[in-house]
Amino acid sequence: MMEELLEHHGIKPTPNRLMVARALARAGRPLSLMELEEMLETVDKSAIFRTLATFRDAHMVHALENSGEGVRYELCHSSHSGSDDDLHVHFYCENCRRTFCLENLPVPRVQIPKGYKAVSASFIVKGICPQCAG
């Protein structure tokens, strides 16, 4: 299945790329580079970084650039390799510092002024997750 996802996005399925994609899929939430490094101890940090850059360029991951502690990555489930049609809201817990996908909440449409060209959008809500609020 991961091989097909990579090929769908025009990416050659190498062992490192498959390991990074599987780690992102298993996590079920956006991960930082450091979290991926901890999960994939046998893969060099620079190889993970290059893989994430390849995935980002091919629209295979979303990069959340303002989720509290640097960039976090999640697999893109878009049906098109050239654009993202699965943008959704994310929740950052200020207590446990995890970011969660709220996949059933699409990013609200924003009417931008004439002359501006939107390339991407992200929507992050910050607060306390149900587990921490417990």
If one counts the domains in the chain, the total is: 1
| Nearest one of 71, 27, 21 to 51, comparing CA atoms | 21
User: Exposed e or buried b for every residue in 39-69, given b needs 16+ CB within 10 A?
Assistant: bbeebeeebbeebbebbeebbbbbbbeebee
**C-alpha to C-alpha distance for 50 and 61, rounded to whole angstroms:** 13
pLDDT for residue 78: 59
pTM of this prediction? 0.75
CATH code, domain with 12: 1.10.10.10
Q: At what angle do helices 15-27 and 45-57 cross, to 10 degrees?
A: 80
Per-residue tens of pLDDT for the chain, all 134 residues: 889 999 988 999 999 999 999 999 999 888 999 999 999 999 999 999 999 999 998 888 888 876 556 788 988 865 554 545 567 788 888 898 888 888 888 888 888 999 998 877 778 889 999 999 98
Q: Which amino acid would we find at residue 61?
A: V
| Residue 56 DSSP symbol | H
- What does residue 46 show for φ and ψ, rounded to 5 degrees? -65, -35
Task: Tell me the residue range of the domain where 22 lies.
Answer: 2-133
Give the list of residues 6+ apart from residue 113 with CB closer than 8 angstroms, or none. Answer: none
